[in-house]
Amino acid sequence: MLFKVEMTVNIPASLPAEQAEAIKAREKAYSQRLQREGKWLHIWRVVGQYANVSIFDVADNQELHTLLTELPLYPYMAITVQPLCAHPSAI
């Protein structure tokens, strides 16, 4: 199943810089692993924001939920999810 996922990150200023950098490093490693596995197909930065738009290809809603909640930055994210299906005009 394909899903469009929009993620906006809001790390609190009170979080120590070293801790924030460690979380970001884990986030990068985890997201790149999911990309290599073919589950995280695309990721685009939203210009001027600490946000992205991504496309996931996973078995079902539960798998997506699990992958998203395991993101190290998950506690600091606002996430919206939209399921996708093929468009009849697509070639």
Sign of the dihedral defined by the CA atoms of residues 16, 19, 21, 23, in that order: negative
Domain boundaries, the chain: 2-84
Distance between CA 80 and CA 16 in Å, rounded? Answer: 27
Give the pLDDT of residue 6: 98
Could you tell me if 61 and 84 are in contact, meaning their C-beta atoms sit under 8 angstroms apart? Answer: no
Q: What is the mean pLDDT of each successive set of 10 residues along the chain, which is 91 residues long?
A: 98 97 98 98 98 98 98 98 96 92
Asked whether the whole model's pTM tops 0.75, one would answer yes
Q: Is domain 2-84 annotated with CATH 3.30.70.1060?
A: yes
